[in-house]
Amino acid sequence: MQSFAKKVDHKLSLPMRHPVSETKTSPVILSAENISVSFGGFMAVRGMNLALRKHELHFLIGPNGAGKTTMLDVICGKTKASSGKVLLGGEVDLTRKRDYEIASLGIGRKFQAPSVFPNLTVQENLELAADRNRSIFHTLRLRRSDTVTPKMLGILEQIGLPGREGERAGSLSHGEKQWLEIGMLLLQKPSVLLLDEPVAGMTDDETVKTGELLKEIAKTCSVVVVEHDMEFVRSFAAKVTVMHEGQLLKEGSMAEIQHDPRVAEVYLGKRREDHAAASSH
Amino acid sequence: MIMNWMKLIPGSRTRRIVWAVLILLLCMAPLFMTPFRLGLFTKFIALAILAVGLDLIWGYGGILSLGHGVFFGLGAYAIAMYLKLEASGSSIPDFMSWSGINALPFFWEPFRYFPVAFLLGILIPAALALILGYFTFRNRIVGVYFTILTQALVMIVVTLFVGKQEWTGGTNGLTGYRDIFGFAFQDSGTKIALYFITLAALIIAYLLCRYIVNSRAGQVLEASRDGENRVRFLGYDPSRFKTFAFTVSGALAGLSGMLFVLQVGIISPSMMGIVPSIEMVLWVALGGRGTLIGAIIGAVVLNAAKTGISEAYPEGWLLVLGGLFVAVVVLMPSGLTGLWNRIVRIFYRQGGSEHAVIRKEG
């Protein structure tokens, strides 16, 4: 982790990465088909399609109110879709499952604000995520343990918190909490990880570290990231889906996205103006 | 040999010694208490059983129940019905004939047998807690809405018990029984036996809750108190864990009610009403929610204070109670155990947060 921290010093000067060898060959693991969500008459998502391939780092971008977070909510079962289905592995329809069932099927969800358990230690937080059997009678027989499993040590190393297992999660910094939460999700051995603006509120260093972490994670599972930070997306995205007003606007590599006139109009163009305004200060 | 025996008590050596001394002192209590005082003390430790269960859901699960008087009352009525039937012999209980009933209602029949009455005294409150918990937690009714529901439960049950006088004895409740299995409650031998039974029940209740709290299930319960959504998206169903804890809590309240009746010889709707239910929460708050031992201390200390103050100034208790509630909330949010931990820390200058210290006390 130490050497890693040095390596990522100059975040914004990182060269734009070319999409890691187009993943078109790998099979689709999760597909959302024709999803619509209505909040009391307001259509937050209208007929959205999203296909996620195995081991893909997939970014979901779009202006505010485009329905990005709502899409994640539908996939993980927090919000019910008014129509459409979400197929996991081509067969299981997730829209018919309860949220905790979806989680145990291997869909991990990270919300925007860090939501670790502040009164438990880092280790206890990880323990909760690590157990496979989540029934009451099984968990009653398990004790709060004093030992850290090798798997947890590996995760602690990966998320940059080695040796911190005894600390109360509430005493971690904002960025560290986010990493702990990602670590918890990793311990669940998810096949799909849904992350909502994981780098919001992070320092530049933390942002780069998180990006590296996400790339690392994408080697073992598919990752969907909702993001606003365009620099971040540019640096790390393999595949980008742009949403606008609840619909699919464009899907492709970052280069393709940047050259699409419609995207520039609704989103990137606007961002450029923002940037121009900001830099003229 | 004593050291071997002490290994049964978990924790560090100092903790074992403290516990061994405490249990020894408690076992010797009948030697230095008058039968009257011993009876009072037995009543306090019977109520402490309820406090432990209440702390399980409130301190660890973050579920505030202002309806534990009902579970307590159901247990109490179950055993009181048995005692009443025993005392009435072959005839029906006196209050029934006053109300113009001449046959025993069918649901009174099972309570003729002690084992049945005993089991029902635990199972009925547990079942009620299970049903209430299942439907509310499943529908994600939490926080103050759940608390209001428990208050509504109290009002419904109390109204029912007062209204159905011919079945329940109405406002007077059930009383007028003097012995159990032929042993008079007034005998000092009976008092001592009941003391040890109640003490054993408290220790079992404490160990049971400790087992739950220190298990992974307790960890999930505590985690859902702090972040229910996260728990759900880790793949746990928090409503099941809450329902389970609430059911255990209801069962312990029932047990507490049964032992309480054996001590005071009466149960009436006013003992399961809203004010007693709130008082129960205050025991836990004063002792320190989130530590099981704190709940026991809180129940014993507050009830002893109640007895002492009521003896001196009969009208003063409610004022003291109200004042105490405000004082605890404002000055000692972690109760007596929190205060104790703070004092210990000042002496030893230990680091670490208050909460971490509390949790280890389990």
pLDDT one-digit tens code per residue, B191-227: 899 999 999 999 999 999 999 999 989 999 999 988 8
**Residue B9 near residue B18, CB atoms below 8 Å:** no
Question: Taking a contact as any Cβ pair under 8 Å apart, which residues of chain B between 225 and 254 contact chain A?
Answer: 226-227, 229-237, 240-241, 244
**B-chain residue closest to A124, CA distance:** B219
Do A134 and B235 count as a contact with CB atoms less than 8 A apart?
Answer: yes
**pLDDT, tens digit (0-9, with 9 covering 90-100), for A149-192:** 888 888 888 888 888 888 898 899 888 998 999 888 888 888 89
What is residue B33's predicted lDDT score, i.e. its pLDDT?
Answer: 85
Exposure string over A204-241, b if 16+ CB within 10 A, otherwise e: eebbbbbbbbbbebbeebbbbbbbebbbbbbbbbbbbb
Which residue of A136, A178, A184, A191 is the best one to mutate when testing the B interface, meaning the one whose CB has the most B CBs within 10 A?
A136
Do B234 and A128 count as a contact with CB atoms less than 8 A apart?
Answer: yes
Contact residues on chain A for B220, CB-CB shorter than 8 A: 128, 139
What is residue A10's predicted lDDT score, i.e. its pLDDT?
Answer: 42
Instruction: Establish if B91 touches chain A: CB-CB under 8 angstroms.
Output: no
Domain A2-117+195-279 has CATH 3.40.50.300: yes
Minimal CA separation from A73 to chain B, in Å = 11
Instruction: Establish if B146 touches chain A: CB-CB under 8 angstroms.
Output: no
Size of interface A-B (CB pairs under 8 A): 91
Facing residue for A144 by CB, picked from B214, B226, B232: B214
Collapsing DSSP to helix, strand or coil, B208 comes out as helix
What is residue B352's predicted lDDT score, i.e. its pLDDT?
Answer: 46
Confidence band for B9, pLDDT divided at 50, 70 and 90: low
> Is the pLDDT confidence value at B349 over 50?
yes
Q: What is the pTM of this model?
A: 0.82
Instruction: Establish if A98 touches chain B: CB-CB under 8 angstroms.
Output: yes
Helices within chain B (DSSP H only): 2-6, 13-32, 35-55, 68-88, 94-98, 114-138, 143-163, 165-168, 188-213, 216-226, 228-233, 238-264, 274-287, 292-312, 317-331, 335-348, 354-361
Question: Taking a contact as any Cβ pair under 8 Å apart, which residues of chain A between 5 and 24 contact chain B?
Answer: none
Question: What is the number of alpha carbons within 13 Å of residue B129 lying toward its C-beta?
Answer: 36
Instruction: Establish if B100 touches chain A: CB-CB under 8 angstroms.
Output: no
Contact residues on chain B for A78, CB-CB shorter than 8 A: 229, 233
Residue A143 is given by DSSP the state: B
Which residue of B214, B233, B361 is the best one to mutate when testing the A interface, meaning the one whose CB has the most A CBs within 10 A?
B233
Token couple for B260: 């309480």
Confidence band for B7, pLDDT divided at 50, 70 and 90: low
Contact residues on chain A for B241, CB-CB shorter than 8 A: 136, 139
Instruction: Establish if B219 touches chain A: CB-CB under 8 angstroms.
Output: yes
User: What is the Cα–Cα distance from B145 to B155, expressed in whole angstroms?
Assistant: 16
Query: What is the average pLDDT score of chain B?
Result: 87
Facing residue for B215 by CB, picked from A104, A139, A168: A139
Mean pLDDT along residues B182-196: 86
Give the strand pairing for A222-226 and A239-244: unpaired
What is residue A2's predicted lDDT score, i.e. its pLDDT?
Answer: 42
Stronger pLDDT, B97 or B147, i.e. the higher one = B147
**Domain locations in chain A as residue ranges:** 2-117+195-279
For residue A112, count other CB atoms closer than 10 A to its CB.
15
> Is the pLDDT confidence value at B35 over 60?
yes
**Residue B184 near residue B178, CB atoms below 8 Å:** yes
What is residue A16's predicted lDDT score, i.e. its pLDDT?
Answer: 44
> Is the pLDDT confidence value at B6 over 70?
no
Mean pLDDT along residues B230-256: 93
Do B234 and A119 count as a contact with CB atoms less than 8 A apart?
Answer: no
H or E element, residue A226:
strand A222-226
What is residue A14's predicted lDDT score, i.e. its pLDDT?
Answer: 42
**Domain locations in chain B as residue ranges:** 1-32, 36-275
Confidence band for B325, pLDDT divided at 50, 70 and 90: confident
User: What is the Cα–Cα distance from A255 to A264, expressed in whole angstroms?
Assistant: 12
Closest CA to B276 of B140, B148, B151: B151
Do B218 and A144 count as a contact with CB atoms less than 8 A apart?
Answer: yes
Mean pLDDT along residues B230-243: 90
Q: Which parts of chain A sit beneath pLDDT 50?
A: 1-23, 281
Tokens 């009072």 belong to B40
What is residue A274's predicted lDDT score, i.e. its pLDDT?
Answer: 54
**B-chain residue closest to A115, CA distance:** B230
Minimal CA separation from A181 to chain B, in Å = 9
What is residue B18's predicted lDDT score, i.e. its pLDDT?
Answer: 84
Stronger pLDDT, B355 or B323, i.e. the higher one = B323
What is residue B121's predicted lDDT score, i.e. its pLDDT?
Answer: 95
Instruction: Establish if A139 touches chain B: CB-CB under 8 angstroms.
Output: yes
**Residue B38 near residue B192, CB atoms below 8 Å:** yes
Minimal CA separation from B236 to chain A, in Å = 6
